[in-house]
A = this chain, B = another copy of it.
Amino acid sequence: MKEPRRIAIGSGSSGSVAWIGTGLLAEAGRYLESPSGRFLLVSSRGARVPAERIRDVLAGRVLTSLEIDDREEAKTLETVSKIADAAIAAGVRRDDAFVAVGGGVVSDVAGFAAAILLRGIPWNAVPTTTGAMADAAIGGKTGVDHPAGKNLLGAFHPPRAILVDPGAAATLPDRDFRAGLVEAFKGAWIADASLAREAEEAIDRLLRREEGPLLSLLAGAIAVKAAVVTADLREEGNRRVLNFGHTLGHAFEAAGGYRALRHGEAVAWGIAAALDLSQRRARLPERDASRVRHVLNSLGPFPEPVRDPAALEGYLSRDKKGNARGTAGVLLEAIGRARVIEAIPIAEWLEAAARVRLQEP
């Protein structure tokens, strides 16, 4: 195997290291971290193959393995409680570490369980979807949903190591593969114009899952997120640029009951709506907006979102970045350059949502 690429995120006790390379799973024993040398595996049904692989590689060092439901509906405090039960029953100690093998739901839930078990034990992430590889495990956000909205309960608790092996996504259904790439492109669009250009030009090869362009895009997106997150670990400032497309994205996702749209698909619609706001409020040139739309159309077509303001309003006004005057939004000034605008009135978001279109007939 070629030496994997190494990207450091944060520093000290809240630091993570992301390792990116093809064939990494087979070397997981070298990269996963546990102070005691013992691991607890949490995975999903869809990630059985890579999870088995990791279990084999770690051989006798796995204290227990647990398969959890990774649908958004199961991203609850109850699932966290189940993970804690299994870990405690297995005799977990503070120096043992979790390994979350799966998509974003698995790393969010298992990472949150690690955050609160014994007031925090180490964990590692092995993302098996393109979305999770580009986004979910990086930056330390963990959490579960509440009927009123996504990720309303959670903690900042970065994994020690993140192993990104595109091979782990080999059996990912095409719809999930494409939806996940939205998150990867998002990283390029907010902060890396040349990565955006390069990935745009490689869009057909990406959709064919060619290893070279896939590794480049994922590593580039991780590098963007790592740089932003390292500068702003606790989300008090610029970290919010990562939320590009997510303000309405979360509302679209919630309004569809977390079933109608994949997370990445909801974010694609959120990005499309944010382009509109960006052109009016941040002077995003039309040619940049249309390049982004073109990529989204290539990754789609995506199921239509709920556009009804009455259905979206509640979710928007409960946004964690909101205050009494509105909800902060991330707009593009150009491809590769994002800006946070404070307190955009809810009415303006709803208008953009009502108007949003992709795939013009």
**Chain A interface (Cβ < 8 Å from any Cβ of B):** 13, 36, 77, 80-81, 84-85, 88-89, 91, 93-95, 115-120, 141, 143, 146, 148-149, 151-156, 234-235, 317-318, 320-324
Contact = CB atoms under 8 A, between A and B. Distances in A.
A91 B153 CA distance: 14
Contact of A152 (B118, B141, B149, B317): B118
Contacts of A320: 93-94, 118-119
Copies of this chain, count: 2
Contacts of A322: 93
A84 B152 contact: yes
A321 B234 CA distance: 28
Given A94-B320, A116-B116, A118-B320, A88 B146 contact: yes
Given A93-B323, A234-B13, A320-B94, A84 B153 contact: yes
The secondary structure that dominates the A interface is mixed
Contacts of A235: 119
Given A13-B234, A119-B143, A320-B94, A77 B81 contact: yes
B318 A88 contact: yes
A115 B153 CA distance: 9
Contacts of A36: 323
A251 to B, nearest CB: 15
A342 to B, nearest CB: 13
A75 to B, nearest CB: 14
Contacts of A324: 93
Contact of A88 (B88, B115, B148, B323): B148
Contacts of A94: 320-321
A155 B116 contact: yes
Give 7 nearest A-B pairs by CB, closest first.
Answer: A119-B154, A88-B148, A116-B153, A118-B320, A77-B81, A77-B77, A94-B320
